[in-house]
Amino acid sequence: MAQVVLADVLKHYDTLENVTLTGYRNPPALNHVSLTVRDGETLSVVGPSGCGKSTLLKVVAGLEYPNSGKVYFDDVDMTDIKPQDRGVGMVFQDYALYPSMKGRGNLQYFFEVHQRTQEEMDTKVRATAELMGMGFELLLGRIPDTLSGGEKQRVAIARCIVRDPTVFLMDEPISNLDAKLRERTRTEIKKLLQKFNITTLYVTHDQQEAIFMSDRIAVMRQGVIEQVGTFDEVYFNPANLFVATFIGTPPISIVPATLSDGAVIIGAARLPMPEWMHAASLPREVRLGVRPEGWIISQNDGAGVPVNVSHVERLPTERAAFVSGTLANTTVRALAPLDYPQVEKVWLMPDWERAYVFDAMTEAALHVPGVPELF
């Protein structure tokens, strides 16, 4: 068990020919990243591909060496410690099992390399097999080629657990599985993580998975951590426009708005300012953010901003529909009842208690709804 700390980590991937007298030609993969993963917590790292999330994991594992900055496990500086001596267990997207060894061999390998006793090895392997639950014993006798994707991943996870890691690192561990299996496997992994209470860094591009797996979420973009918080915090209190758009599916609608003379002007429509906006000191030009469930949709002329409907997507199982249209050159999506009529035009009014306001230039959040008190 340990707390993992990254302190001001900088990591460039540029090769020598890309480094000129004026510095690096490409932006760094990790741009002065600082992050604390609390003891025993599962922290998910999400972000678009290329944002540096896998690099972050590799730096913690010791597979990549940072250009500057430090990695600590508790108070111990790990930056110069070799990967095999860090006590981390890593699970990869492609499993990375030793193909020539049976399941048992994969689990035993660590003990053989580190020249532990036969007795310790047997005890550990047996205990791990028990922890992994029903049917795992059977996988131990098979070579990886004969295992399904889900089974391979179970063996890979067991291979991590058997060595008592202080930190668990998972890089998209279930992305290669099909949808049904993914759901089952993620439940299984979550149960295991809860059982062991090991500090875990979990990298994924799937935010549903991140919500399900983790205590907190770190949202990354271009080598920078934009925000760290619980799902509720990044959803209701996003630090900036990027976090707001990245978190939440379908995404939040962002429309340019002008605040003037007690009115919110969107396109040609003037909406009266809500109470709180009068009191807040906001610039004239802003970006207004409204999530699909945050629009009040109406067929009455004048009840909000007119929007030409381009598409009504009906979700019979969810008993709901998404009404989409274009507003000020951006796509807006509003949640409506399943039987909402196929009309050409609707009027959308933000539910002001659930609206977000961002700075038009810096994209920083100027007003967020906050975690709601529903009950």
Instruction: Out of 235, 242, 246, 352, point to the residue binding another protein (CB under 8 A).
Output: 235
Q: Which stretch binds another protein (CB under 8 A): 50-58, 132-140, 155-163, 174-182?
A: 174-182
Among 38, 184, 191, 319, binds another protein (CB under 8 A): 319
Question: Site for another protein (CB under 8 A): which residue of 27, 133, 250, 302?
Answer: 250
Q: Please report whether residue 308 would count as binding another protein according to CB under 8 A.
A: no
* Residue given tokens 């802003």 in the structure block: 286
CA distances in angstroms from 4 to 74, 134, 163, 310, listed in the order given: 6, 32, 18, 48
Per CB under 8 A, 246 contacts another protein? no
Asked whether position 178 contacts another protein by CB under 8 A, the answer is yes
- Measure the CA–CA gap between 335 and 241, rounded to whole angstroms: 21
Is residue 343 close enough to count as binding another protein by CB under 8 A?
no
The stretch near another protein (CB under 8 A) out of 56-64, 65-73, 79-87, 232-240 is: 232-240
Site residues for another protein, 6-65, by CB under 8 A, read: none
- The answer to whether 51 and 99 have CB atoms below 8 angstroms apart is no
Q: In this chain, which stretch among 21-29, 60-68, 130-138, 224-232 interacts with another protein, using CB under 8 A?
A: 224-232
Q: Does 77 bind another protein (CB under 8 A)?
A: no
Residue found under tokens 């991590």: 160
Binding span for another protein by CB under 8 A among 21-29, 57-65, 154-162, 309-317 = 309-317
Query: Hey, what are 111's tokens?
Result: 């003990």
Query: Which string of x and - marks every residue 345-374 that binds another protein (by CB under 8 A)?
Result: --------------------------xx-x
**Applying CB under 8 A, does 317 fall inside the site for another protein?**
yes
Distance CA 306, CA 303 (A): 8
Which one of 75, 316, 329, 344 is in contact with another protein (CB under 8 A)?
A: 316
In 3D space, the residue among 299, 184, 223 whose CA is nearest the CA of residue 56 turns out to be 223
DSSP conformation letters of 262-298? TEEEETTEEEEPPHHHHHS---SEEEEEE-GGGEEEE
Would you say how long the chain is, in residues?
A: 375
DSSP β-ladder status, 88-91 and 305-315: unpaired
Interacting residue with another protein among 73, 111, 236, 242 (CB under 8 A) = 236
Is omega for the bond preceding 306 within 30 degrees of 0, making it cis?
Answer: no
**Residue 69 φ/ψ region, left for φ over 0, alpha for ψ in the -120 to 50 degree band, beta for the rest:** left
Measured in degrees and rounded to the nearest 5, phi and psi for residue 215 equal -80, -40
| 300 forms part of the interface with another protein (CB under 8 A) | no
* Closer residue to another protein in complex, CB, 49/317: 317
Interface residue with another protein, options 26, 194, 197, 208 (CB under 8 A): 208
Q: Contact 269/305 with Cβ under 8 angstroms?
A: yes
Q: Which two tokens stand for residue 266?
A: 């969107």
Q: Does 320 bind another protein (CB under 8 A)?
A: yes
Give 149's DSSP letter. H
Nearest distance from C-beta of residue 326 to another protein, angstroms: 21
Question: Which residue in 127, 138, 315, 343 binds another protein (CB under 8 A)?
Answer: 315
Q: Where along the sequence are the contacts to another protein (CB under 8 A)?
A: 178-180, 208, 211, 230-232, 235-236, 249-250, 292-293, 315-320, 335, 339, 371-372, 374-375
